[in-house]
């Protein structure tokens, strides 16, 4: 792995660590949940996109055994759970909208990111990079972009009322 790749993997590890720490932290009353979700999720997605769109190898993927309930609680503290979305925004006229679930989104993102963070922390940067690239393109990228759109729409609607 060259130096540029290594530094991008390290940046993603920081974003992944921050996202996972926030997502598994206790719910705090009065916390600006939507703002924080957007900040951590957009930083994570941006860092993952900086790795490039190479389809890595999934490797030995195991969903994390710990943290899922905490992520569910954090996501449930958001002011909405369900939202409307279309899967393929490039289809004109648009497809029928479906219902998205912010809890499902955040749990799936955490479940796809956390194993890569374990690989990174064990010193296997190449495996972490492959894991993150594969699961970004195969799964969590869709959840991240859907969740970000829903979170942003919520903020925009709230700001419009104030």
Q: What is the pLDDT of residues 72-116, one digit of tens each?
A: 999 999 999 999 998 777 888 888 889 999 999 999 999 999 999
- Given this model, what pLDDT does residue 57 score? 65
Answer yes or no: are the C-beta atoms of 31 and 107 closer than 8 Å: no
Q: What is the DSSP letter of 140?
A: I
Q: What mean pLDDT comes out for the span 121-150?
A: 93
DSSP string, 76-108: HTSS-SEEEE-S-TTSSSPPPPEEEEHHHHHHH
Identify the structural domains of the chain with CATH numbers, from first to last.
3-161 (1.20.120.1550)
SS3 26: coil
Q: Once rounded to an integer, what is the mean pLDDT over residues 36-62?
A: 85
Between 60 and 141, where is the model more confident? 141
d(CA 144, CA 113): 11
Residue 58 has pLDDT above 80, yes or no: no
Average pLDDT over residues 16-39: 90
Instruction: With CA atoms as reference, report the closest residue to 115 among 79, 74, 63.
Output: 63
Tell me the CB-side half-sphere exposure of residue 30, using CA atoms within 13 A.
0
| 45 pLDDT above the threshold of 90 | yes
Query: Residues in the chain, how many?
Result: 162
DSSP label at residue 30: T
Name 13's bridge partners.
none
Confidence of residue 56 (pLDDT cuts 50, 70, 90): low
pLDDT at 92: 82
């Amino acid at each position: 792995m060259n130096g540029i790749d290594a530094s991008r993997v390290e940046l993603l590890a920081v974003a992944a660590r921050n996202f996972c720490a926030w997502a598994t932290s206790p719910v705090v009353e009065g916390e600006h949940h939507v703002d924080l979700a957007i900040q951590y999720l957009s930083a994570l997605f941006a860092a993952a996109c900086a790795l490039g769109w190479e389809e890595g190898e999934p490797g030995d993927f195991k969903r994390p055994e710990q943290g899922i309930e905490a992520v569910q609680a954090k996501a449930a503290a958001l002011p909405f759970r369900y939202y409307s979305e279309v899967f393929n925004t490039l289809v004109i006229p648009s497809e029928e909208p479906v219902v998205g679930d912010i809890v499902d989104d955040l749990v799936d993102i955490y479940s796809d990111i956390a194993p890569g963070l374990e690989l990174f922390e064990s010193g296997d940067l190449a495996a972490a990079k492959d894991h993150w690239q594969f699961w970004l393109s195969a799964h969590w990228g869709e959840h991240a972009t859907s969740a970000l759109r829903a979170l942003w729409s919520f903020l925009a609607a709230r700001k419009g009322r104030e």
